[in-house]
Structure 1
Amino acid sequence: MPRPVKPAVFILIAAALALFGAVAGGYYFAMRPVVLHIAVGPANSDDLKVVQALTQAFTQNHSYVRLRPVPTEGAAESAQALADGKVDLAIVRGDLNVPKNAQAVATLRKNVVVLWVPAGAAQGSSKGSSKGSKGKKKADNITKISQLAGHKVGVIGRTPANVNLLKVILQQYGVDPEKVETIQFPVTEATDAIKNHKADVYLAAGPLNSKITSDAVAASTKNGEAPTFLAIDSADAIAQNHSEYESTDIPAGAFGGAPDRPEDEVKTISFNHHIVARKGLSDTTVAAFTHQLFAARQQLLADFPLAAKIETPDTDKDAAIPVHPGAAAFVDGEEKSFLDRYSDYIWWGLMALSATGSVGAWFAGYLKKNERNNNTSLRERLLDMITIARKSDATEELDKLQAEADDILRSTLACFEEGAIEHGTLTAFNIALEQFHNAVADRKLILMSLPQNLQRAGAQLRATGS
């Protein structure tokens, strides 16, 4: 009959399975996709479209980081969602209050400020502008920002941030914002507002290739006459006083048309829309997200040109928004590989595996201690049987010793198969067993050569002596 499996074997198998399960589980948790919630808005905005395109690209590429958009009413609400810890990422506007727990990951797009006076603005809505009489301000005479007092400025877009932006510009030129009437138009109504002369001057803020701005400028052209663009000559001073703004230029012909709109380069200010991460978000996760972001940017260029505006963040220590360490690692080429990130865990895992093996071997040896001790006793018994066999006077006794030796052999071989004894111990046992067989064979030959009465007498003598 087959021998039952020893408990030690089950214990070693269970330990090996447990260790394998721990390694497999660790690898699964290390490599499973990470879902990041990103706040973005408003609905139907270019920002939301970019994020949705990135979300689809990450899913199709089976990327490590996945995105889940959280729609908001605008950049201010997105920033608040990040500040409240409700999301991991957010699209924020650089000239608004950036949450203290926000760290830059990428620049989504650069926005330029465009101020212009539509052609034929003498028909505008400001007081007296339609009359053109002496002492009255005519909108078509506006060529400088310092002349905006007493006029109406139409701000394209509903966000209050653009109105605040206008106030910053007016204050730089010494114009009291209270003396400038401001009216906001939804982007969908901007063209009609310009055609109906709802304001004397218009302000738009967005990327240079923004269709919203281009359409509004086109609507401001009349009878082949291009609108008048107002230069922000003090852009450097504004950037010096407000770190969220930068001085930049609008290239000639940026908005197309004939004649070029504008005809010459125009100085202005710009600000950025940023992708920011919650401070404390894993460096590894942010580095992976940044890597995926710029890889997907190249992938989306053909179908989604807005992705071309995504740029790396400012990694300078004095940046307006501090860069996230994970994004900085990507920009600086210090992004960690899988082995870099988990080398410590792998090393400790190997150490644990080695230690587990050592402990398992010791424990298995400890469990077989009784078997080894028992086998040692049997070997000693076999050696004693050699002495008994050499003095035996009866073949029946020798047969019993032979049967006992067979049992000892069976037990010893079982111990060897189970690892309780080593090969050297088995060799020594074989030598003792061979000596026993030789002793039995020799004694039987001697007994067979003696008369039967002498054998019986010897057996009786031993019995009496015992």
Structure 2
Amino acid sequence: MTGGQDEVDRQTAPTQRSSVKPAVFILIAAALAIFGALAGGYYFAMRPAILHIAVGPANSDDLKVVQALTQTFAQNHSYVRLRPVPTEGAAESAQALADGKVDLAIVRGDLNVPKNAQAVATLRKNVVVLWVPAGAKGKKKSDKITKISQLAGHKVGVIGRTPANVGLLKVILQQYGVDPAKVETIQFPITEAAEAIKNHKADVYLAAGPVNSKITTDAVAASIRNGESPTFLAIDSADAIAQNHSEYESADIPAGAFGGAPNRPEDEVKTISFNHHIVARKGLSDSTVAAFAHQLFAARQQLLADFPLAAKIETPDTDKDAAIPVHPGAAAFVDGEEKTFLDRYSDYIWWGLMALSAMGSVGAWFAGYLKKDERSNNTSLRERLLDMITLARRTDATEELDKLQAEADDILRSTLACFEDGAIEEGALTAFNIALEQFHNAVADRKLILMSMPQNLQRASAQLRAASS
């Protein structure tokens, strides 16, 4: 009966140890899953942010600048990447932002700015230029227009197809008490402006753009007649217009802004100005906008050689009463309060470490739970070893001692395997060693006693014990 139980115990021990292997695989799989989650989180945090920007019209300087920025960001492997979305003009770009179709847009400050738009940068400042071409042969000087108030009954040519410039003209006319209905307005495409001026298609011309705009400079140059320079009309009421329309500002066109000898204009000319803005939709990540603003101003110097207009890119107005509220991300860049990587993701890192700690605790508990049966089995084997000490001291046959010794070897093998698996601690192994040592001593002592007894006494003793049992 004892031998049968011993055999069962020896067969059970490897089975219990083998149950630990799936647990090891589970822990490895969990570790790999955690590593994969961390790697995926890092990739997600560091992958480029793609921002779609609406800009137009086609072949405009604005579109060319945005395309150059797109290439620069890509070449520099910047965090923010741009995807230009061409439109018919600033009005369409603003509508695309309002509809949520794009993340960024180039808009005119004197148009209806979407409610969800927040300023990121001022792309350029535009001035309004009004001038009268030099008179043709035979035209009386008394008919020459020198003031805006004289425009009633005349034809004004507006350079560019955008309706915004026509609206701008109406604002100016109304400020001077001129009925816009009494002024005929004709719009010319940018590519046809010089030819229209040479062919006297209008009496007065209006252009809106940067002071150093090539479009305006070419149009003014086309207005020269027989060496005579055009006459520039000053908007003396610019301050009043700016007071009544917050989207406009009073400005001056410096003498010689459009070149020539003599200078065109000969003296400084009073006018109004408005801005083209880069705006972002409200709700766009603060860190993304801050990164975009940082890249934009860093790339500005790289673009100056090919795009002089890039020098006009300015930081947005951060005042609370600004015409277009500044985006918090752009404000952080302007104020030098950009968040670092740790600032942006410290909460995620902290929670990640907490999650790892919790998962480690759960994993340790789970591993301990899976080894519960193995520890229980090892405890049973140790108790069996203690019982074997008593058996060794009572046995009357060396063959039985040899069997007990073989069983002890199996128990030793199983215990060492449990220790390597972590199922038992060093203290338990020490206790087992003490029991094993006592067993070996009991076997050795019993063998000495049996060897000193005559064979007939050994047989008689064995038969007596068998009969009593």
> Shorter-chain TM-score category?
over 0.9
Cα separation, 2, equivalents of 1:52 and 1:237: 38
- Deviation of 1:142 after TM superposition, in Å, equals 2.1
Q: Contact (CA 8 Å) 1:253, 1:260: kept in 2 or not?
A: yes
User: How many angstroms does 1:137 deviate by?
Assistant: 9.0
Partner of 1:123: none
Contact 1:65 1:288 in 2 (8 A): yes
Partner of residue 336 from structure 1, selected from 333, 336, 339: 339
- 1:228–1:77: structure 2 CA closer, same or farther, 3 Å change rule? same
Q: Structure 1 residue 111: deviation in Å?
A: 0.4
Matching residue of 1:180? 183
Q: Structure 1 residues 321, 274: CA separation in 2 closer, same or farther (over 3 Å shift)?
A: same
Task: Say if 1:194 and 1:219, in contact at 8 Å, map to a contact too.
Answer: yes
Note the C-alpha offset of 1:303: 2.5
Deviations 1:297-323 (A, max 9, x none): 122222222222211111111111111
Aligned position for 2:356: 353
1:6 is paired with a residue whose SS is helix
Shift of 1:461: 1.8
- C-alpha displacement at 1:291, in angstroms? 1.5
C-alpha displacement of 1:200: 1.7
419-428 or 139-148: bigger deviation: 139-148
Tell me the CA shift for residue 138 of structure 1: 6.0
Partners of 1:139 and 1:200 within 8 A in 2: no
CA shift digits 1:62-100 (9 cap, x unpaired): 122211111111111111111111111111111111111
Q: Deviations over 1:122-178 (max 9, x none)?
A: xxxxxxxxxxx9999967532221122222211111111111101101111111111
Inter-CA distance 436–111: structure 2 relative to 1 (3 Å threshold): same
From the superposition, tell whether residues 30 and 271 of structure 1 become closer, same or farther in structure 2 (CA, over 3 Å). same
CA 1:227–1:140: 2 relative to 1, 3 Å: farther
CA 1:337–1:294 in structure 2 vs 1: closer, same or farther (change >3 Å)? same
Query: Cα deviation per residue 1:341-384 (whole Å; 9 max; x = unaligned)?
Result: 11111111111111111110110000000100110111111112
1:134–1:273 distance in 2 versus 1, CA, 3 Å: closer
Matched, 1:88 2:103: yes
* CA deviation after TM superposition for structure 1 residue 241, in Å: 0.7
Contact 1:76 1:96 in 2 (8 A): yes
Gapped regions of structure 1 (runs ≥ 5) = 121-132
Q: Distance in 1 between the 2:62 and 2:307 partners? A: 12
How much identity, in percent, do the aligned residues show? 92
Structure 1 residue 260: Cα displacement: 0.9
Question: Which whole-Å CA distance do the structure 2 matches of 1:461 and 1:358 have between them?
Answer: 59
Structure 1 runs of 4+ with >3 Å offset: 133-141
Shift of 1:264: 1.3
Quick one: structure 1 residues 145 and 135, their matched pair in 2 at CA, closer, same or farther if it must change by over 3 Å?
A: farther
TM-score by length of 1: 0.93
In structure 2, the partner of 1:14 is: 29
**1:248-303: CA deviations, max 9, x gaps?**
11111111110111111111110011111111122222122112111121222222
Matched residue SS, 1:255 = coil
CA-to-aligned-CA distance 1:165-194 (integer Å, 9 cap, x gap): 011011111111112221111111211222
Q: Check 1:275–1:265 CA distance in 2 against 1; reply closer, same or farther (3 A cut).
A: same
Which range moves more in the overlay, 421-430 or 367-376?
421-430
Query: Structure 1 residues 31 and 140 mapped into 2: Cα distance closer, same or farther (>3 Å)?
Result: farther
Secondary structure in 1 matching 2:81: strand
The residue that corresponds to 2:8 in the other structure is none
In the TM superposition, what is the alpha-carbon distance from 1:226 to its structure 2 partner?
2.1
d(CA) in 1 for partners of 2:227, 2:138? 29
Displacement of 1:449 after TM fit? Answer: 0.9
Post-superposition Cα deviations, 1:420-458, rounded to whole Å, max 9, x if no partner, equal 011221122112111111111111111111111221122
Maintained 8 Å contact 1:79/1:98? yes
Say whether residues 1:113 and 2:128 are aligned partners. Answer: yes
Structure 2 Cα separation of the partners of residues 243 and 179 of structure 1: 26
Matched residue of 2:123: which SS? strand
CA distance in 1, matches of 2:190, 2:28: 69
In 2, are the aligned partners of 1:40 and 1:78 still within 8 Å (CA)?
yes
Instruction: Quote how far apart the aligned CAs of 1:392 are.
Output: 2.1
| Per-residue deviation, 1:224 | 3.3
Residues 219-260 of structure 1: CA deviation (Å, up to 9, x unaligned):
222333322211111111111110110111111111111011
Equivalent position of 2:312 in the other structure: 309
- For 2:115 and 2:210, the matched residues in 1 are separated by 26
Aligned residue number for residue 293 of structure 1: 296
Tell me by how many angstroms 1:391 deviates: 2.3
5+ residue gaps, structure 2: 1-19
Give the conservation status (yes or no) of the 8 Å contact 1:119–1:140.
no
CA distance 1:458–1:153, shift in 2 (3 Å): same
- Superposition pairs for residues 215-226 of structure 1, below 5 Å? 215-226=218-229
Q: For residues 180-199 of structure 1, what are the structure 2 equivalents within 5 Å?
A: 180-199=183-202
Of 81-90 and 139-148, more deviation after overlay is shown by 139-148
The worse-fitting range, judged by mean Cα deviation, of 50-59 and 290-299 is 290-299
The CA distance in 2 between the partners of 1:462 and 1:399, in whole Å, is: 19
Distance in structure 2 (CA, Å) of the matches to 1:338 and 1:218: 53
- Residue 156 of structure 1 contacts residue 204 of structure 1 at CA under 8 Å; is this kept in 2? yes
Superposition deviation, residue 385 in structure 1: 1.2
Given candidates 111, 115, 118, the residue that maps to 1:100 is 115
Provide the C-alpha distance between the structure 1 equivalents of 2:256 and 2:126, rounded to a whole number of angstroms: 17
Q: Aligned in 2, Cα 1:134/1:25: closer, same or farther, shift over 3 Å?
A: closer
Deviation at 1:31, TM superposition (A): 1.4
